[in-house]
Amino acid sequence: MDPARWIREFRQALKLGDAALKVLIYCESGPESHRTGLYHVSDGTVASMVGEPIDIVERAFEDLETAGLLMRDADAGLVYLPDYCERQFAWKGKATAAKDWRVIEARRHIARLPASHLVAHFLDAWPMLRPQQSPLEAPSKAPWQGTPHASPQASTTSTEREGTSGLAPDGQHHGQPDDDQAEIKRSARRGIRLKEIEPSVKLGDAA
């Protein structure tokens, strides 16, 4: 911890009261804290650790936020220490930041946090720590998009069966399917028989 902080932030918190100082120190060094300065911590946990009633801790959070020493989203249970990330990483240039393995861990940490205006505020200040979707986590697209509850193999098989009756051995479509062709042939035979019977009917009428 930087000793100079006792002259600046800690001294300012102490003026707000003992509870405010204890809450600020816990937020910076408690087991829930994270190097980004943005993390989840409940009022009950802080109250238990610093030995103060919850209502006093809630008031201390309000005072610290008014003084600009931290930001608090009580609904999401998040606390944000604006200058904490810069002090923890202490980068001296973009090249150094690009090689820092902690960047990946920080992105994963931010991705796990609940939706909050504090997250948006943090990412505006630190865009390089914005979570990135891994290609392995990207949604996959099915190779075949067909009728629900039907497989491509079943669809192909039914199509082949429907088209078989209308195809000749050479694979070309010639006229009607087999059933229609048979009916045409039967009708033609009946026509020939009627022509053979017709003359005998006329001779009978003449007699």
Beta bridge partners of 167: 173
Q: Identify whether 169 is part of a domain.
A: no
Phi, psi of 121 (to 5 degrees): -65, -40
Cβ-based neighbour number of residue 85 at 10 Å = 20
Q: Are residues 41 and 102 in the same domain?
A: yes
Q: Retrieve residue 155's tokens.
A: 């669809």
Strand order in the sheet with 38-40: 38-40, 78-80, 71-73
Cβ-based neighbour number of residue 169 at 10 Å = 6
**Structural domain total, the chain:** 2
Residue 181's pLDDT is what?
62
What span, in angstroms and rounded, lies between the C-alpha atoms of 168 and 182? 15
Nearby residues of 35 by Cβ (< 8 Å), 6 or more positions away: 84, 85, 88, 89, 102, 106
Q: Are residues 13 and 66 in the same domain?
A: yes
Provide the residue type at 86 as one letter.
Answer: E
- CATH number of the domain that 42 lies in? 1.10.10.10
Q: Are residues 10 and 108 in the same domain?
A: yes
Which of 80, 112, 133 is where one domain is finished? 133
Question: 53 near 23, Cβ under 8 Å?
Answer: no
Q: Which domain holds residue 199?
A: 177-207
What span, in angstroms and rounded, lies between the C-alpha atoms of 185 and 196? 17
**Positive or negative: CA dihedral 78, 83, 87, 91:** positive
Q: Identify whether 78 is part of a domain.
A: yes
pLDDT tens, the chain, 207 aa long: 666 677 778 888 989 999 999 999 999 889 999 989 999 999 999 999 999 999 999 999 999 999 999 999 999 999 999 888 888 776 655 555 556 678 888 899 999 999 999 999 999 988 888 987 644 444 444 444 444 444 445 444 444 444 444 445 454 545 445 555 666 666 666 555 545 545 544 444 444
Q: Are residues 192 and 126 in the same domain?
A: no
- Under DSSP, is residue 80 helix (H, G, I), strand (E, B) or coil? strand
Rounded to two decimals, the pTM is 0.58
Among candidate residues 26, 31, 30, 34, the one with its CA nearest the CA of residue 10 = 26
Nearby residues of 9 by Cβ (< 8 Å), 6 or more positions away: 24, 69
Q: Are residues 20 and 116 in the same domain?
A: yes
What span, in angstroms and rounded, lies between the C-alpha atoms of 46 and 28? 12
Q: Are residues 116 and 187 in the same domain?
A: no
